[in-house]
Amino acid sequence: METKTGADWPIHEIARLAGTTSRTLRHYDDVGLLAPSRIGHNGYRYYDRGSLVRLQRILLLRDLGLGLPAIGEVLANERDVAAALRAHVAWLRQERDRLARQIASVERTIESVNEGGDPMAENMFDGFDHTQYKDEVEERWGKDAYTRSDAWWRGLGPAGQAEWKERSAALIRDWNKAFEAGETADGEAAQELARRQVEWLTTVPGTPAATPGQDVKAYVTGLGEMYVADARFGANYGGPGGAAFVRDALAVYAQRNLGG
Amino acid sequence: METKTGADWPIHEIARLAGTTSRTLRHYDDVGLLAPSRIGHNGYRYYDRGSLVRLQRILLLRDLGLGLPAIGEVLANERDVAAALRAHVAWLRQERDRLARQIASVERTIESVNEGGDPMAENMFDGFDHTQYKDEVEERWGKDAYTRSDAWWRGLGPAGQAEWKERSAALIRDWNKAFEAGETADGEAAQELARRQVEWLTTVPGTPAATPGQDVKAYVTGLGEMYVADARFGANYGGPGGAAFVRDALAVYAQRNLGG
DNA sequence: CTTGACCTTGACGCAGCGTCAACCTTTAAC
DNA sequence: GTTAAAGGTTGACGCTGCGTCAAGGTCAAG
């Protein structure tokens, strides 16, 4: 008969010593993170001092937020603890920043709701007036452009117009999402959005993007600049920062995929 | 035969319009968040403009970080959008702060590892020297106290000493965990820790907590004050802030349970 | 012998879909 | 008319880290 303070302890005892639960210990056994030092003839798990030290390291790392697989690697290599922690802290910072952006976004939404500019309103698309850009379109791309564009627009009919507006709304939403998620302008997500944006542009006749043979690259790049320069457009993308993000993504996309 | 721009669209189409996937739409159907407006004789799902509006609200709220059940409630009540968002932003802030504390904690650990004071070291308990507090114990609680305490300590034997050190280490770890998790001193978690701390104190003979009839309440409260005043103890609890947390928790516990 | 405390394995649950799998329908093409 | 490509359907597993029963063995005490 062993004394209780002998070579090892039963599972509940060691759990108490380390400040965790027996269920957790069984889980660590299942996933191969910490095996009992001994298993009784009855299947009972027993842990000795070595297991306890390892367990305490595991719990320390877990409290720092590392995942169990990551902990397993750290304990296996034993060398790059600091490296693993540095990588981990970088990830933590990203998460914190993402949360900060999301908080800002929610706060903007609350404000917007309070001011009655309810983004949840059923008629959120009905504020979209195609003709409000008449003068500007004519000035930028000529009178023909507006006439053609307007004819196209009327030709779509109510359902078609709704669909077009929805696609543009989805695009704006996704740009915002990517921006707030901290994507980089030359990253995969942003570039996919740029592709969608260009594809979407081609549905509008009279624009260079829809007219083969024109300098699409310059057009798309210039469009991005306009998003930044024109506050009305920029507002759709979450302010100057968001517009700049869109501009950069479009510039990268144009450079890589549109010609030259 | 309906025209494509008619009353409703098939699942993939509406997913594209809203910028999500058909799988997501089926999931929303499964959990009762968004049902198709019509189901074909073949089982196909079709969505109309109403579904689309609802879907866009769902996606908007989801991007703000709300869970699907919460979104369901908001859309059902329709009124307290702002209230739900305010509650949500409070939760987001908590998370952000928790991450900030965890970042600080990981950074401290990195520093500690770099300086060689490796908290992962196998012999992390061996730096614990019971006799280092000799003079102090004598000064505070008299010579007898130290003698008794020392005899008790030697009497534990190596295994018993190890266990005792481990329990104290676990306590310190759990206090830190609770502090960094943003627990309040009078909260459930902190009070449970206080209970453990007092229970643990009673294992040390010669202290009032282990001696019935003494003023345990004053002792425990005073102990907390000492944690704050004495930097050596405070260091174990993550600096002054952590020590103050422990002190407050102990004070609340003593007030509530160690009655007068 | 019984009670009660502690042990075992097994399996569901959670959040939100991604990702096969196995099997129809519709549509466009030949 | 047939066929192959799309796109639809209902399951069901996977991911993270255990909490939480459930059903049933083991062990020390009365």
**A31 CA → D15 C1’, Å:** 14
Rounded to an integer, what distance in angstroms lies between the CA atom of residue B185 and that of residue B195? 12
Nearest to B63 among A59, A103, A177 (CB): A177
**According to the model, what pLDDT value does residue A4 have?**
39
Nearest to A105 among B64, B99, B118 (CB): B64
Strand spans (E) along A108-210:
none
**Cross-chain residue pair B64–A157, CB shorter than 8 Å:** no
**B220 CA → D9 C1’, Å:** 67
Using an 8 Å Cβ cutoff, are B206 and B187 in contact?
Answer: no
Q: Give the pLDDT band (50/70/90) at residue A5.
A: very low
Using an 8 Å Cβ cutoff, are A170 and A231 in contact?
Answer: no
Pick the closest to residue B17 from B43, B39, B38, B48 (CA basis): B48
Taking the CB of residue A171, how many other CB atoms lie within 10 A of it?
Answer: 18
Average confidence (pLDDT) over A243-258: 88
Q: If DSSP codes are grouped into helix, strand and coil, which group holds residue A13?
A: helix
Q: If DSSP codes are grouped into helix, strand and coil, which group holds residue B247?
A: helix
Q: Which of B2, B4, B5 to mutate to test the interface with A (most CBs of A within 10 A)?
A: B5
pLDDT one-digit tens code per residue, A35-92:
999 999 999 999 998 999 999 999 999 999 999 999 999 998 876 889 999 999 999 9
**B43 CA → D1 C1’, Å:** 27
**According to the model, what pLDDT value does residue A6 have?**
55
Q: Does B62 touch chain A (CB under 8 A)?
A: no
**According to the model, what pLDDT value does residue B73 have?**
92
Rounded to an integer, what distance in angstroms lies between the CA atom of residue A152 and that of residue A202? 13
Cα of A249 vs its chain's centroid, Å: 15
Structure tokens at B240: 């002054």
Task: From first to last of the 260 residues of chain B, give the pLDDT tens digit.
Answer: 333 345 789 999 999 989 899 999 999 999 999 999 999 999 999 999 999 999 999 999 999 999 999 999 999 886 688 999 999 999 999 999 999 999 999 998 898 888 876 666 654 555 456 666 666 666 666 666 667 667 777 777 666 677 777 777 788 888 888 888 888 999 888 988 898 888 777 776 656 666 655 677 777 777 777 777 666 666 777 767 778 899 899 999 988 988 75
Helix (H) or strand (E) holding B8: strand B8-10
Task: State the smallest CA–CA distance between residue B16 and chain A in angstroms.
Answer: 8
Q: Does A6 touch chain B (CB under 8 A)?
A: yes
Which residues 178-237 of A are in CB contact (within 8 Å) with B? 180
Cα of A251 vs its chain's centroid, Å: 21
Nearest to A52 among B109, B166, B180 (CB): B166
Of residues B164 and A192, which shows the higher confidence score?
A192
Of the listed ranges A11-20, A139-148, A221-230, B248-257, the one predicted with least confidence: A139-148
Q: If DSSP codes are grouped into helix, strand and coil, which group holds residue B85?
A: helix
**According to the model, what pLDDT value does residue B148 have?**
65
List for chain B the helix, strand, coil content (%; round to 5): 70, 5, 25
Task: State the smallest CA–CA distance between residue A254 and chain B in angstroms.
Answer: 22
Of residues B171 and A123, which shows the higher confidence score?
B171
Give the number of A-B residue pairs with CB atoms closer than 8 Å. Answer: 132
Average confidence (pLDDT) over A153-163: 68
Rounded to an integer, what distance in angstroms lies between the CA atom of residue A79 and that of residue B7? 64
- A145 has a pLDDT exceeding 50: yes
Residue nearest C19 (alpha carbon to C1'): B23
Of residues A250 and B79, which shows the higher confidence score?
A250
Q: What are phi and psi of A250, to 5 degrees?
A: -65, -40
Q: Which nucleotides of C are covered by protein (CB under 7 A)?
A: 6-9, 15-19, 24-26
Q: Which overall architecture, per CATH, does domain A8-78 show? A: Orthogonal Bundle (1.10)
The domain ranges of chain B are 8-78, 123-257
Pick the closest to residue A147 from A155, A138, A160 (CA basis): A138
Instruction: Return the ∠ at Cα B154 (arms to B152 and B156), rounded to 5°.
Output: 70
Of residues A16 and A144, which shows the higher confidence score?
A16
**According to the model, what pLDDT value does residue B1 have?**
39
Q: What are phi and psi of A8, to 5 degrees?
A: -150, 170
Using an 8 Å Cβ cutoff, are A53 and B126 in contact?
Answer: no
Which residues share a beta bridge with B47?
B9
Amino acid at B185: A
Using an 8 Å Cβ cutoff, are A36 and A45 in contact?
Answer: yes
Task: State the smallest CA–CA distance between residue A227 and chain B in angstroms.
Answer: 21
